[in-house]
Amino acid sequence: MPRQILDHKNIHPAVQSTVADNHADIVAEVQLAISNNKVVIVGMAQNPAPKRARKVLDELGVEHTYLEYGNYFSLWRRRNALKMWSGWPSFPMIFVNGVLIGGSSDMRALIASGEFTALLK
């Protein structure tokens, strides 16, 4: 089932550019990183989950790119644009070959099942 998103025709023309341009730069930065790297972790400071994900990948010797946006007290509006874009509600957001695989625990489950290795190919 595709996720729900407000249809463009239901956004008044006077605010369409505001909606379209809302922190578009951060989304473009993440999209560029995803297109240029096999594994990308998007996180925030002070959150232990991105750190755990990075540590696991380091232990496995998996090269990855880490993008960090603020902390619990800063840049939440910019991070919210990423959540709206991806549909993923929390950090980290982990992408493998352009596919959102979820967060740290989702990645660990894929590693345990052996599927993570297949996704890297």
**Angle, in degrees to the nearest 10, between helices 76-86 and 24-36:** 60
Query: ω into residue 2 within 30 of 0, thus cis?
Result: no
pTM of the model as a whole: 0.93
CA dist 91 and 40 (Å) reads 12
DSSP code, position 9: G
Tens-digit pLDDT profile for residues 21-39:
999 999 999 999 999 999 9
pLDDT for 2: 84
How is the chain split into domains, by residue range?
Answer: 8-120
Q: CATH second-level architecture of 8-120?
A: 3-Layer(aba) Sandwich (3.40)
- Confidence band of 3 (pLDDT split at 50, 70, 90): confident
**Angle, in degrees to the nearest 10, between helices 48-60 and 104-113:** 30
Tens-digit pLDDT profile for residues 68-117:
999 999 999 999 999 999 999 999 999 999 999 999 999 999 999 999 99
Name the β-bridge partners of 68: 43
| Whether residue 10 has pLDDT greater than 90 | yes
Tens-digit pLDDT profile for residues 49-66:
999 999 999 999 999 999
| Whether residue 1 has pLDDT greater than 80 | no
